[in-house]
A and B are shown apart, each in its own frame.
Chain A
Amino acid sequence: DNQRLKPTLILNETYILRELIYALQGVDGKIFQKDPKDMQTMILKVEMEKPVRMMVMRYLESGWFYGRLRRFLATYNNNPSAGLVLQAFCAYISTELKEYHRLLAVLESQLGDKDEGTECSNITLRRLSVWLEQPLERLKFLNIICDAVKDKKGGILLSTIFTYSKYGDANKAALVKSGLAKCAIPIRDMIIEWICDGQIRDIHEEFFVAFNNSIPNERLWHDKYNLRISQIPSFLSEDQAKKILIIGKSINFLRVICNEQKQIKAVTNIPSIESMLEQKTDTQFQDLIDQAYIDTSSYLIEILLKKYKLLDHFNSLRKYLLLGQGDFIRHLMDLMESELNKKAQELMFPNLQRLLDKAVTETNAQFEPSYIISRLDVRLLPPSPNDMGWDVFSLDYTMDGPLKTVFNSTIIQRYLRIFNFLWRVKRMEYITCSLWSSYKSDAEKLRKMPEIYEIIHQSNIIRSEMIRLVQNLNFYIMFEVLEVSWKNLCEQLDNSKDMDDVISANEQFLNTIITQLLLDENSKEIAKELRTIFDLIVKMSDLSEQFHKIALSEYEARKEFKEKCTDDMDEDQKTALDNMERKRYHGEVKPKIRNAKHQLQLLKNSFSEMVKNLLEALKNHPNESLRFLSFRFNFNEYYY
């Protein structure tokens, strides 16, 4: 009995094993065939003893995993929409499968060999467990990853694999890492090409730098290239990604906008994939990025400074648009005054340009190099009805080439807005001062008419209050706002490492100025009040001027009267003349004086009212320096 049973079992086993090895590769045989229902799982066509069946089913598991990987490859291998990274991943999976094939081939070849001493073959069903244990684990693990990376591409795919590489079993972690290293090659190559040549070849949108060809060159720096945040592989920090973006952007900027064709950085030794994945231990990749970043950015900054004289332009913006060049501005105002007093619609553009040229040639501005002064121009803002020349006039500074990236039209627009405000404040100072000088020249004459002088005195008081306000405001603007922010700007420009730093420094500069000059959204109400105060000052100037004229003509009239009253006149004549004079005075002049007095009083009241409002608003302003401005205005608590 014993003799009879054994051979059948052995025969059966060899047979089963052969069939099994086919089945492990998904090939149908006599015993194992694919389930017609799903064409994936293998089913037994022959009934077996239960232990053998269990064993066989267990081994078929790896066949099942193998089949899934094959199907994965079939889906993506020749799929044009699958990205480069997924292709690399498929290549990696097929090398893994090749290993598996090799194993099965070895097993098959051993199947025939007889173990010495026994009649049975080298391979038994049980021994298969030793052979298949590890491949099964690997296939299983690869399947998990395949499920996870399905339909993903580029950086997202890499990030996914990277999370799976954090596994406590060192062998499996190494398995994933070797796969990851292969998959990361396309992205690594894209990074290298980008930071060396600024080129992107990325039809599947896998790279984390995206570009948009429809953006005009003018906006190249701002909008053409962007980060696809989701595509940044998780083994790169966002910081690195930003640097990488800036490097390539700088290269393109230099090439397209600055016409610099010099190759800045040639990567001689391409960093290993491992240095990209294992940044904790290997700094090669990080060093490359850092070096390339420093090289390109500093080269770009150098070009901007040396070839395009960036700092000079900053400086001249400060001088002309931010009224830094005092003599020029003063002279310009002198020249333009009569012109700008006209209605906005009546302004002659060429006239203004001529006056500007005149102001340039007659002041220190003439010593500026021509590449700066030629950019200075006049611009008229679109007028609204009732606007005076003052309201629409503005200096302009034209920019071109790379400068246009730093000073794009919105930036220039903001500079113009600031200029408009500063020009207005300057004008207020100008008006109040010229009031004083016109008064001063006639002071002696006016003093002789006490009832008129009283009003002049009144207006003098108001004027000096106004002067104080305007001068304090001016001081605040010039010293606390402009000079301080200018100093900060210079510091930031000095420390700028790349173009973005320059742009953001400029933007920050403008932002602080705009906030501190009450030009931003938050201060709209306060700005309106300030505007009303300015209007009052203009009104005051008109009023005083009118009254000044009245006073002078009255002086002349009296002088005439006195000349008429000669001693040789008789009483009657004298009385008649006197009556006439009195009639003239009471009929014509006195109402005027009364009117002027009344108006002055009104003006005074509304002025101090407005100043109080302004102070109140400033006191609660969120910006600290503006709060201090209120102390400056009200240092002796005159207003409350």
Chain B
Amino acid sequence: NPEKFESECEINKLTLSLQEDMIVDDLLNCMTGFEGKFIKTPSLSDRHADRTFHIERSLDPAMRELAKRILPVCSHYSTIIRFVEEKSEFKWGLVNHALCAAIRELLKNHYVFICQLENLQRKGNLSLQKLWYYVNPIMGFMEILASIIKVINKGDCCGSTVIDILYEKVLAYSGDPKLQELIFYLAQTSSRPYFQMLQDWIYKGQINDPYNEFMISEDKDITKEKLKEDFNEKFWEKKYSINAQNIPKFLANLSEKILLTGKYFNSIQETGSILGKNLNSNELIPFDASSNNRSQRKKINFPDQVEINFTIKEDTYKNVVENAYNFSSKILLNLLLKDHKLIDRLRSLKHYFLLDQSDFMVHFMDISEDELNKTSSEIRLNKIESLLEVSLRITSANSDPYKDDLRCRLLLTDLKSMVMKIQGFAQKNDSESGGDKLKALKGLEAFVLDYSIKWPLSLIINKKTLFKYQILFRHLFLMKYVERQLLNVWLCTKSGELCLGRSYPYYSLACALRQRMLNFVQNFLNYMTFEVIESSWSTFEENLKEVENIDNVIEHHAKFLDTCLRDCIITNDSFLLIQKILSECIMFSVFVQGVTKNIKEKEETSQSEWKSMTLKEAQELRRKTLQEIGEDLNKIVSDDAFAASIKGFDDKFSKLLLEFLAKIINDMSNGLGETKIGNVLYRLDFNDHYRNQIEKLRLTSSIINIS
């Protein structure tokens, strides 16, 4: 009977008790999201706006006032129900779904509550006052819920942000245990999917994240297969990465560890085939060896998994994550040490890059010298490669099972810029001007060893560490080369000495200079190999025996390399001085070899003629050649130009050397004395040969400083 209802709009014509009855009925409607007869609501301006209500003006003013107080509950309900409807959609992610489910659970209670009120009303037992009394307790909770929802709505939050908001609210309402309990319930339920993902990750290394809510994101395009062609550590760096937006604040400190834990699990599983064969003896991983690899891989799980639940005690998370981290790290370490023979690998690296037991290097230099003396653009890498292989196979390196992983390369940058790079000097100007330097780089300057390392050893020996090894190698290689050149000079001058005697002052000066240079180079080489590399290596190996997880290994390894770099005076200002001294030595030896080139040739031709002669003839010839050589040499040596250049070399070398020694003394007094650098000084100047000169130099420099 529709007309009848229309006429009732005039509420002021009804009795007060009827008015009250009607308005209570309306309020009950509004509290479950329906419009009442006398309480109307305008349509919303936007989907997240508060719902407003208009109460019929003609209503009794007192009742109207009381009803107005109850209305916020209706408004909050509207906000809540709209939120639940909206965020249940798939696109809002698991955390929002779970939050909606939790709110729905609460709303069920709300409906039951309304039904109870209705029951009272039907019994004629519910006045407006009573309603106000009953509604009062749920008011606070509804308000908080609505305010939380508004925050979430405002930022269109999902995933960890939602958890963050709830976490803050839990802390904020710690004064009111009842409210806190409710919000805690919401937080716990809604964070459950997130923690499930976290568990999967830190216990199994798996990511099940359909809506991109988790803090770790996986790049599925990067696979192990691609890795073989590409850089080794790319997998480690890029396959899994932290997505900073998705970290709940209370896990922020742990994010690195969380990332690593799962990564370790993954790397163990990526190398599964090896696991199946060799890990039987390893007690750490509980699986049986009879079934095949793939199913075993699945079984590498953390033994005592804990279900992670929402809590406000951050220590709980920390403990869980650290346990998992330690476990995975330990397994991976075992894998590296036992299956992949990490230590043997490192030893092999040391053979090649740090010239330990490197008879192969001498041989290699013998056969490749001609090739390496060319400029790097003329060198055929193939040839160098095959020469390297030859020298590996016929020397003691042949017994190294990993020798096939050794490669060689010709780099475009010289040692200096490599050192700059490692010291963090990104000098753009330098690389530009380096363009013309490139062409001039000689083979032996560009030559460097390389080592192909497969997963998972590339965790430890990656491009970065290899870079340091290469720097050390290039330095040592250069030293060796210089030593070799100086020894060649010795060969040249030796035959000259035979015929000249030692009466020629500049000639003997040249010999003396050579001797000093040799002394420097050999002592320095000795210092680097024995005092620095060997001793830090033995410390490193000692340390490796006690490592607990991968990080320790990486740490010790880095420390070993850095010590070597520092004590070999590579990451030090004096490095440039050493370079200068070395280039001076090279220039000197080139000069002397150039001068004595004719002599050498003559001697060689005469030697080849001996073969077809009798002893007497040969002796005769020998004397004659010596005499000829002597005359030639005499001519050269007594030339002023020769004297001048020898003197020039001598001055320059002495000056640089003194500078270098003074620098070391200076460094020592500046607190670098703890390092072994000082030993260089005692080696080079063991008999105080340079001491006075250094003192003089320091004096003058200090005078300059003072003035």
Binding site for B on A (CB under 8 A): 1-2, 5, 47-51, 54-55, 58, 115, 117-118, 120, 124, 126-127, 129-130, 133, 137, 163-164, 166-172, 239, 279-280, 283, 286-287, 290-291, 294, 497, 619, 627-628, 631
Contact = CB atoms under 8 A, between A and B. Distances in A.
A170 B189 CA distance: 9
Contacts, number: 114
Contacts of A171: 101
A133 B106 CA distance: 12
Contacts of A133: 104, 107-108, 111
B21 A51 contact: no
B112 A49 contact: no
22 contacts: A2-B18, A50-B35, A115-B122, A117-B123, A118-B119, A124-B118, A126-B114, A127-B118, A129-B115, A133-B108, A163-B210, A166-B94, A166-B208, A167-B97, A168-B95, A168-B97, A169-B97, A283-B299, A287-B295, A290-B292, A619-B382, A631-B383
Given A168-B94, A631-B386, A239 B295 contact: no
B450 interface: no
A51 B299 contact: no
A2 B193 CA distance: 54
A129 B193 CA distance: 29
B590 to A, nearest CB: 26
A123 to B, nearest CB: 10
Given A2-B18, A130-B108, A294-B292, A51 B29 contact: yes
A169 B98 contact: yes
Given A2-B18, A50-B37, A166-B210, 13 more contacts: A51-B25, A118-B123, A127-B115, A130-B115, A168-B98, A168-B193, A169-B98, A280-B204, A283-B299, A290-B295, A628-B386, A631-B382, A631-B383
B37 A49 contact: yes
Nearest to A127: B115
B42 interface: no
B21 A2 contact: yes
A126 B24 CA distance: 14
B5 interface: yes
Interface of B: 2, 5, 14-15, 17-18, 21, 25-26, 28-29, 32, 34-37, 88, 90, 93-101, 104, 107-108, 111-112, 114-115, 118-119, 122-123, 190, 192-193, 200, 204, 206, 208, 210, 291-292, 294-295, 298-299, 382-383, 386
A280 B206 contact: yes
Contacts of A120: 122
Contacts of B118: 124, 126-127
B35 A137 contact: no
A280 B301 CA distance: 11
A297 to B, nearest CB: 10
A169 B111 contact: no
Top 3 A-B pairs ranked by shortest CB distance? Answer: A168-B97, A168-B94, A169-B101
A169 B119 contact: no
A201 to B, nearest CB: 28
Nearest to A279: B298
A167 B196 CA distance: 12
A171 B204 CA distance: 25
A51 B36 contact: yes
- Which among B15, B25, B292, B294 has the greatest number of chain A C-beta atoms within 10 A? B294
B291 A118 contact: no
A370 B382 CA distance: 49
B17 A2 contact: yes
B211 to A, nearest CB: 8
Contacts of B208: 166, 280
B442 to A, nearest CB: 22
A283 B299 CA distance: 9
Nearest to A240: B294
Contacts of B111: 129-130, 133
A55 B295 contact: no
Nearest to A120: B122
Given A50-B35, A126-B28, A290-B292, A170 B101 contact: yes
A114 B537 CA distance: 91
B7 to A, nearest CB: 12
Contacts of A168: 93-101, 190, 193
Contacts of A163: 210
A130 B295 contact: no
A172 B101 contact: yes
B364 to A, nearest CB: 16
Contacts of A628: 386
A54 B295 contact: no
B86 to A, nearest CB: 14
Contacts of B5: 48-49
Nearest to A46: B2
B204 A118 contact: no
